[in-house]
Amino acid sequence: MTQFLTRRAVLMGAGGMGAAGLLSGCERRGGRVLTSSDTHPSDYPTVQAVKEMGRLLSERTGGRLGIHVYAGGQLGAERDTLEITTFGGLDMNRVNLAPLTAIEPMTVIPSLPFLFRSTGHLRRVLDGAVGQAILDSLRPHGMVGLCFYDSGERSFYNTKRPILAPEDLKGLKIRVQNSDLFVAMIKTLGADATPMDMGEVYQALVQGVIDGAENNQPSYFTGRHFEAAPYYSLTRHVMAPEILVMSMARWEKLSPADRELVQETARQSVPFMRTLWDSRVTDATQKLLAGGVKVNEVADIAAFSALMRPVWDRFVTTPDQKRLVAEIEAMSDDAGTGEVTP
């Protein structure tokens, strides 16, 4: 019931029942507590980063602007909250790039398997003109891309066995995000791809509806998936980043100065998030090992990348996509500065 009321309040554009109560005075001054959604719990780095952005916004505007993050997936799965965001029922949303791949072809690019050579390479790409082009590509879809956040490397985990070669995935039911690209990637390795929302994965593993999934260590740990699926195999096949978007409907209601402030504070939350992210990966990895997870390196990564590479041709079809992929491949691995360039 609470969840229903909260969801309804946000949908009504009230900014949430609690937030609405706080608003009245500051709304008269053109202010607002912006609503934002996240599938992760409130201590997760993505949630912390958006809260930090809210803190900065509030500090710079004397409390006129702020952000309330609805964490833990309380407003629904990413696919659904994205839809709500596009029609303006939510002001902001932090999601993975995967559910956006069905909406905008440019978002396919950073989600391609084995595209980035390192975290340095990824950060350099996302901080520069290529990243900006991808953020801008969402505008015709009713969203303003504000910034990217790290999401580490996704690897396979399952209830049955260590994955050392693609053959080990044969016949396994692997949960994927709601994205044709992810379905294709998993099918090409010989596994059975099962699209499902993140919130359903733990139960599906426990009940044997699926045999495994793929994700970074912090999500694997935070979702307690490791308890049911203790084999974690370091294929590191995708580095699809997280993205923070704002509803175009809300953006257009902001003054030019406030838009600049929103964009600037979002950028400033990126290095903050990266610091939290790096320590979260270390911490989750230690806790997973302590929790009895069997982590294995995969010696022949080339066997996976060779099978997954044809997915590029299927999903990279437009001249704009091809140009960006070429630019990314030509870019060096040097880490970004941590400052996001406009």
Residues at the interface with ligand GTR (CB under 6 A) = 39, 78, 95-96, 98, 151, 177, 198, 215-216, 219, 242
- Cβ neighbours of residue 82 closer than 8 Å, sequence gap 6 or more: 93, 95, 99, 100, 103, 143, 245
Q: Which is nearer to ligand GTR, 163 or 213 (CB)?
A: 213
Residue of this chain nearest to ligand GTR (CB atom)? 96
Other C-beta atoms within 10 Å of 260: how many?
11
Distance in Å, CB of 167 to ligand GTR, minimum: 24
Cα 73 from Cα 198, distance rounded (Å): 9
Q: Which is nearer to ligand GTR, 198 or 293 (CB)?
A: 198
Instruction: For residue 170, report the phi and psi dihedrals to the nearest 5 degrees.
Output: -55, 130
- Any idea how long the chain is? 342
Distance in Å, CB of 215 to ligand GTR, minimum: 5
Give bridge partners of residue 213 from the DSSP assignment: 157
- Cβ neighbours of residue 47 closer than 8 Å, sequence gap 6 or more: 38, 40, 41, 69, 71, 94
Q: Which is nearer to ligand GTR, 39 or 235 (CB)?
A: 39
Which residue type, as a one-letter code, is found at position 299?
A
Distance in Å, CB of 193 to ligand GTR, minimum: 13
Distance in Å, CB of 88 to ligand GTR, minimum: 21
Q: Which is nearer to ligand GTR, 147 or 261 (CB)?
A: 147
First to last CA, the chain: 43
User: Over 134-152, what HEC string results?
Assistant: HHHCCHHHCEEEEEEECCC
Cα 280 from Cα 275, distance rounded (Å): 9
Q: Which is nearer to ligand GTR, 61 or 93 (CB)?
A: 93
Other C-beta atoms within 10 Å of 303: how many?
16
Does residue 302 come out as left (phi exceeding 0), alpha (psi in the -120 to 50 range) or beta? Answer: alpha
- Rg of the chain over Cα atoms, rounded to whole angstroms, equals 20
Q: Which is nearer to ligand GTR, 78 or 258 (CB)?
A: 78
Distance in Å, CB of 47 to ligand GTR, minimum: 10
Distance in Å, CB of 78 to ligand GTR, minimum: 6
Distance in Å, CB of 142 to ligand GTR, minimum: 20
Cα 69 from Cα 48, distance rounded (Å): 9
Q: Does an H or E element contain 238, and which?
A: strand 231-238
What the block records as the tokens of 77 is: 């799965």
Q: Which is nearer to ligand GTR, 66 or 223 (CB)?
A: 223
Cα 258 from Cα 67, distance rounded (Å): 13
Cα 188 from Cα 87, distance rounded (Å): 35
Q: Which is nearer to ligand GTR, 39 or 188 (CB)?
A: 39
Distance in Å, CB of 28 to ligand GTR, minimum: 35
Distance in Å, CB of 175 to ligand GTR, minimum: 8
Q: Which is nearer to ligand GTR, 177 or 247 (CB)?
A: 177
